[in-house]
A and B are shown apart, each in its own frame.
Chain A
Amino acid sequence: MKHLRKLGAYLFLLLIGYVFLFPLLFMIMSSFKPEQVIFADLYSIRAILPVGDLTLDNYRQVFEKSDVLLYFRNSILITSATVILGLFVNSLLAFTLSRMRWSGRKYILAAVVALMIIPIEAIVVPLLLLVSKLPTIGWEQGGFVLMGSWLNSLEVQILPFVANSFFIFLFYQFFRDIPKDFDEAAELDGATPFQIYRHIIVPMSGPVFATVAILHFLLMWNQYIWPIMAVQGEDARPVMPGIQIFFGRQTSWGEIMAYASFVTLPVLAVFLAFQKKFVSSLAGAGIKG
Chain B
Amino acid sequence: MADVKLTKVVKRYGDVETIHGIDLDIKDGEFVVFVGPSGCGKSTLLRMVAGLEEITEGELHIDNECVTSVAASRRGVAMVFQSYALYPHMTVRENMGFGLKMAKTDKDEIKRRVDESAKILQLEPLLDRKPKALSGGQRQRVAIGRTIVRNPKVFLFDEPLSNLDAELRVKMRVEIAKLHSQLKNTMIYVTHDQVEAMTMADKIVVLRGGNIEQVGSPIELYLNPVNEFVAGFIGSPRMNFFECDVISQTSSSLRLRLPCSTEVELDADVSASPGMSKVKLGIRPEHLQEDHQGKVKIGVDVDVVEHLGGATYIYARYAGDNELIVQAGGLSPVRRGHHCDISFDLDQCHLFDCNGLSLRAAQPIPLQTEVSVQELVLG
Contacts of A128 in B (CB 8 A): none
Contact B99 A181 (CB under 8 A): no
Q: Is the CB of A187 within 8 A of B52?
A: yes
Q: Is there an interface contact between B88 and A204, defined as CB atoms closer than 8 Å?
A: yes
* Contact partners of B51 in chain A: CB under 8 A: 188
Q: How far is the CA of A199 from the CA of B150 in the complex (A)?
A: 18
When distances are taken between beta carbons in the complex, the residues of chain B under 8 Å from A199 are: 87, 98
Shortest Cβ distance from residue B30 to the other chain A in the assembled complex, whole angstroms: 21
Flag if B52 contacts A188 (CB, 8 Å).
yes
For chain A, residues 151 to 200, give those with C-beta under 8 angstroms from any C-beta of chain B.
Answer: 179, 181-182, 184-191, 195, 199-200
Task: Report how far A48 CA is from B51 CA in the complex, Å.
Answer: 67
Asked whether any CB of chain A lies closer than 8 Å to the CB of B50, the reply is: yes
- A142 at interface by CB-CB < 8 Å: no
Whether the pair A190, B85 counts as a contact (CB closer than 8 A) is: no
Count A/B pairs, Cβ under 8 Å: 57
Which of B74, B83, B88, B102 counts the most chain A CB atoms within 10 A?
A: B102
Q: Which residue of A lies closest to B74 (CB)?
A: A190
- Is A188 in contact with B50, judged by CB distance below 8 angstroms? yes
Contact A195 B83, beta carbon cutoff 8 Å = no
* A188/B89 in contact, CB under 8 A: no
B62 shortest CB reach to chain A, Å:
14
Residues 289-344 of B at the A interface (beta carbon under 8 Å): none
- Cα A203 to Cα B103 in complex, Å, equals 20
Write the nearest CB–CB distance from B141 to chain A, whole angstroms.
16
Q: Which residues of B contact A184 (CB under 8 A)?
A: 50, 52, 72, 79, 81, 85
Within 8 Å of chain A (Cβ to Cβ): is B77? Answer: yes
Q: What is the minimal beta-carbon distance from A30 to any residue of chain B, in angstroms?
A: 47
Which residue of chain B lies nearest to A185 when distances are taken between CB atoms in the complex? Answer: B85
Q: List A contacts of B78 (CB < 8 A).
A: 188
In the complex the two chains form, is B89's CB within 8 Å of A186's CB?
no
Q: Which residues of B contact A186 (CB under 8 A)?
A: 87, 98, 102
Known contacts being A188-B52, A189-B98, is A182 close to B72, with CB within 8 Å?
no
Provide the bound-state CA to CA distance between A189 and B105, in Å. 12
- Measured in the bound complex, the distance between the Cα atoms of B102 and A187 in whole Å is 10
Tell whether, in the assembled complex, residue A190 and residue B99 are in contact, meaning their CB atoms are under 8 Å apart: yes
Chain A binding surface SS class: helix
A185:B79 contact, CB within 8 angstroms: yes
Q: Which residues of B contact A204 (CB under 8 A)?
A: 87-89
Contact-residue size bin, chain B (C-beta under 8 Å from the other chain)? 20 to 34
Q: Please pick, from A185, A191, A195, A203, the residue contacting B81 in the complex, using a CB distance under 8 A.
A: A185
Asked whether any CB of chain A lies closer than 8 Å to the CB of B236, the reply is: no
Partner of A203, one of B79, B83, B89, B99: B89
Interface string of A92-115 (1 = CB under 8 A from B): 000000000000000000000000
Interface residue? B7 (CB, 8 A)? no
Q: Check if B73 is an interface residue, CB within 8 A of chain A.
A: yes
> A188 near B73 (CB under 8 angstroms)?
yes
Q: How far is the CA of A204 from the CA of B132 in the complex (A)?
A: 13
Interface 1/0 per residue, B94-108 and A, CB below 8 Å: 000011001100000
Is B73 a contact partner of A187 (Cβ separation < 8 A)?
yes
The CA of A43 and the CA of B72, in the complex, are separated in Å by 73
Identify the closest chain B residue to A190 (Cβ). B73
Residues of chain B within 8 A of A181, CB atoms compared: 81-83, 85
A204→B103 CA distance, assembly (Å): 22
Interface of chain B residues 46 through 81 with chain A (CB within 8 A)? 50-52, 72-74, 77-79, 81
Whole-angstrom CA separation of A187 from B87 in the bound complex: 13
Residues of B within 8 A of A187 (CB): 52, 72-73
CB distance from B67 to the nearest CB of A (A): 13
The chain A residue sitting closest to B52, CB to CB, is A184
Minimum CB–CB distance from A18 to chain B (whole Å) comes to 43
Flag A237-280 by CB within 8 Å of B: 1 or 0 each. 00000000000000000000000000000000000000000000
With a CB–CB cut-off of 8 A, which chain A residues contact B82? 181
- A186 CA to B103 CA, complexed, in Å: 12
Q: Would you list 19 pairs from A and B whose C-beta atoms are within 8 A, ordered by A residue? A: A179-B83, A181-B81, A181-B82, A182-B85, A184-B50, A184-B52, A184-B72, A184-B79, A185-B79, A185-B87, A188-B52, A188-B73, A188-B79, A189-B102, A190-B102, A191-B73, A195-B102, A199-B98, A204-B89
Q: Which residues of A contact B (CB under 8 A)?
A: 179, 181-182, 184-191, 195, 199-200, 203-204
Q: Which 5 A-B pairs have the closest CB atoms?
A: A189-B99, A190-B73, A181-B85, A185-B85, A190-B102
Given A188-B51, A188-B52; 20 other pairs, CB 8 A cutoff? A181-B81, A181-B83, A181-B85, A184-B50, A184-B79, A186-B98, A187-B52, A187-B72, A188-B79, A188-B99, A189-B73, A189-B150, A190-B99, A190-B103, A191-B73, A191-B98, A200-B87, A203-B87, A203-B89, A204-B89
